[in-house]
Copies of this chain bind each other. A is one copy, B any other.
Amino acid sequence: MSRSAIRVDIFNAIAEPRRRQIVELLAKRGALAVGALVVALGLPQPAVSKHLGVLRKVGVVAVTKQGKQRMYNLEAEKLKSVHDWVKTFEELWSHQLDRIKQRAEQRAREQTNPKGQ
């Protein structure tokens, strides 16, 4: 496609498994240099730099110069928009899970008490 994906947004940024890995690593280990990510991910350096470029573009990571290294750190607030969007539907799935649980319990009752209560 094309027409709609003009701009990279946060949802696209985290659609890539490798990029989610990067987010996870930065969350767990704090600011990391590109080289550290290369080691951790087992990807060639240019690939890592490119993924970081996407994450940077949407602002979910930020860079700081430190000697010849570039330290990347997570800007977690940017993930809040995703959280907020998904949270809108939380009520729906918890209700659905409720219903699933209720049906399971109903079946259990029917097992032990075939006539119903």
A37 within 8 A of B: no
Closest B residue to A1 by beta carbon equals: B16
A29 within 8 A of B: no
A12 to B12, CA, bound (A): 7
Which residue among A17, A78, A83, A86 has the maximum number of chain B CB atoms within 10 Å of its CB?
A86
Closest B residue to A84 by beta carbon equals: B86
For A4, the chain B residues whose CB sits under 8 A away are 16-18
How would you classify the secondary structure of chain A's contact residues: helix, strand, loop or mixed? helix
CB distance from A112 to the nearest CB of B (A): 27
A88 to B27, CA, bound (A): 9
Q: Which of B16, B85, B89 contacts A74 (CB 8 A)?
A: B89
CB distance from A96 to the nearest CB of B (A): 6
A36 within 8 A of B: no
Q: Are A79 and B86 closer than 8 Å at their CB atoms?
A: yes
A40 within 8 A of B: no
6 A–B contacts from the bound complex (CB under 8 Å)? A4-B16, A5-B16, A15-B15, A76-B92, A77-B96, A82-B86
